[in-house]
Chains A and B, each alone.
Chain A
Amino acid sequence: NAGVTQTPKFQVLKTGQSMTLQCAQDMNHEYMSWYRQDPGMGLRLIHYSVGAGITDQGEVPNGYNVSRSTTEDFPLRLLSAAPSQTSVYFCASSGSDDWETQYFGPGTRLLVL
């Protein structure tokens, strides 16, 4: 199993550009989520999904969109990037029989100029 994979590893954007951060898991997990981590801070939940077709907002959802058309993939879209979205983004997943144990991806470092 590859676990949770994220692409790209690093991205530089200009203000106003759009992009999609990719997240995939091969563990057939129902639960998936996106977090951002700013320097010196803990992780903050952006959006999460409890299954295909179901998503909900976390602590800091503004400026981000998500969709969950398949169990495996949970992309995060930035429609119009802002410097305040410069951060490290982590995707995580967990299964319904062990939902407390989240498995995290390696992260995507995003710099918005």
Chain B
Amino acid sequence: DAKTTQPPSMDCAEGRAANLPCNHSTISGNEYVYWYRQIHSQGPQYIIHGLKNNETNEMASLIITEDRKSSTLILPHATLRDTAVYYCIVLSGTYKYIFGTGTRLKVLA
């Protein structure tokens, strides 16, 4: 499975959009991009996933570049409760998730 690279930390003002980038330059054609987040020391929470089209759900939007080598998770109106570590994972049809160290997002009041 492809490896991912994320910035270690980011800040975002409350009410603004939070854009979290992820690089996965070695991704192969059948690998999906998944995003999870971990608030404080709780168990991770699924956010969204996609293959090549942009995806949106009630929590976030996922934008995948045309060459699929990078993606961006967008939280449209960040709140203080969105402060968490966000993990980008690339996976193809197996259950072997590799979480990495993620991006620590701090939403500022």
Name A residues whose Cβ lies closer than 8 Å to a Cβ of B.
4, 31, 33, 35, 40-45, 48, 50, 58-59, 88, 90, 92, 99-107
Query: What are 17 contact pairs spanning A and B, CB under 8 A?
Result: A42-B87, A42-B98, A42-B99, A42-B100, A42-B101, A43-B44, A43-B87, A43-B97, A44-B98, A45-B96, A58-B96, A59-B98, A88-B41, A92-B44, A100-B49, A103-B46, A107-B43
Whether, in the assembled complex, B45 has its beta carbon less than 8 Å from a beta carbon of chain A, the answer is yes
Please give the distance in Å from A91's CB to the nearest CB on chain B. Answer: 8
CB of B43 within 8 A of CB of A48, answer: no
Q: A88 CA to B72 CA in the complex, in Å?
A: 29
Since A92-B44, A105-B43, A106-B42 are in contact, a sample of 20 more A-B pairs with Cβ atoms closer than 8 Å, ordered by chain A residue number, is A33-B95, A35-B99, A42-B87, A42-B98, A42-B101, A43-B87, A43-B97, A43-B99, A44-B98, A44-B99, A48-B95, A59-B98, A90-B43, A90-B44, A100-B49, A102-B36, A102-B46, A107-B41, A107-B42, A107-B43
Total number of B residues with any Cβ neighbor in A under 8 Å: 19
Please give the distance in Å from B30's CB to the nearest CB on chain A. Answer: 14
Q: A33's closest neighbor in chain B, by CB?
A: B95
CB of A104 within 8 A of CB of B100, answer: no
Please give the distance in Å from B49's CB to the nearest CB on chain A. Answer: 5
Q: A104 CA to B41 CA in the complex, in Å?
A: 12
B residues in contact with A106, CB < 8 Å: 42-43
Q: A57's closest neighbor in chain B, by CB?
A: B96
CB of A100 within 8 A of CB of B34, answer: yes
Per-position binary interface string of chain B over residues 77-88, scored 1 when its CB falls under 8 Å from any chain A CB and 0 otherwise:
000000000010
CB of A102 within 8 A of CB of B97, answer: yes
Q: A41's closest neighbor in chain B, by CB?
A: B101
Please give the distance in Å from B96's CB to the nearest CB on chain A. Answer: 6
Q: A68 CA to B53 CA in the complex, in Å?
A: 37
Interface centre among A31, A43, A99 (most CB of B within 10 A): A43
Q: Which of B41, B44, B95, B100 contacts A99 (CB 8 A)?
A: B95
Q: A92 CA to B34 CA in the complex, in Å?
A: 16
A residues in contact with B49, CB < 8 Å: 100
